[in-house]
Amino acid sequence: MPKARTWLWIIVGFFAFCIVCVVGVIGAGYLFIKSHIDQTTVTSAVASDEFNRALARFKDQTPLIRTDDSHVDISTRVDSLPTSAVKPTNLYVLALEQDRGTNERPLVRVSLPFWLLKLARRKMQLGGGADIDNDLERLNITADDLERIGPKLLLNYTRNDGTRVIVWTE
């Protein structure tokens, strides 16, 4: 009978260890997301200042990706761009939700480390509908390409409803 109790404790211990590991992974994921995504409610003036500060780094630089509500295109072929001595470490997204007729609007800031981009997917998708995602896949832009060309303004997009998104590497 003592051997049966030993195996019982081993099995209970194993399941307890698994539960602790799952809780740890969930907690680490929550902390990672919390530290890389920030959403605040701001006035249109504050949002405009935020976008102007972000775009000031890229004076006179044309965004790599051009888009309207139905079509995505690339302004310059990625393979024709020179290799940069400076490698970006993060991909940033700044997004302002549509104007709802109030003075305040949600502003979302996202920063993703490049190692995560390289690990997660080989092709970039920015969301925004199946048509835009399919067009981005057609553009064939990879995290390695973005790392090679260095810090760059990737997208500066404003919809008719006031939704605005800029994406850049730094």
What pLDDT, in 10s, does the model give residues 72-106?
Answer: 777 778 888 899 999 999 999 999 987 777 778 89
Is 32 within the bounds of a domain? no
CB burial class (10 A; 0-12, 13-18, 19+) of residue 109? middle
Is 1 within the bounds of a domain? no
Rg of the chain over Cα atoms, rounded to whole angstroms, equals 22
Residue 130 belongs to domain spanning: 38-169
Chain centroid to CA 19: 30
Is 82 within the bounds of a domain? yes
Is 10 within the bounds of a domain? no
pTM over 0.75: yes
* Domain total in the chain: 1
Is the confidence at residue 134, as pLDDT, over 70? no
First to last CA, the chain: 64
